[in-house]
Amino acid sequence: MPRLGQKYEIEIETTSKPNAEYAAPAYLELGLPKAPAVMVGDEIVIKGADASEEKLEALICKQLGFPAPKPAKSGFLRRFFNR
Q: What is the pLDDT of residue 19?
A: 82
Q: What is the pLDDT of residue 77?
A: 65
Q: What is the pLDDT of residue 12?
A: 82
Q: What is the pLDDT of residue 27?
A: 85
Domain boundaries, the chain: 2-81
Q: What is the pLDDT of residue 62?
A: 87
Q: What is the pLDDT of residue 74?
A: 66
Instruction: Write the single-letter amino acid at 71.
Output: P
Low-confidence ranges of the chain (pLDDT < 50): none
Q: What string of DSSP letters covers 18-63?
A: -HHHHTSHHHHHTTPPPSSEEEETTEEEEESS---HHHHHHHHHHH
Alpha carbon 30 to its chain centroid, in Å, reads 20
- CB neighbour list of residue 19: distance below 8 Å, 6 or more residues apart: 35
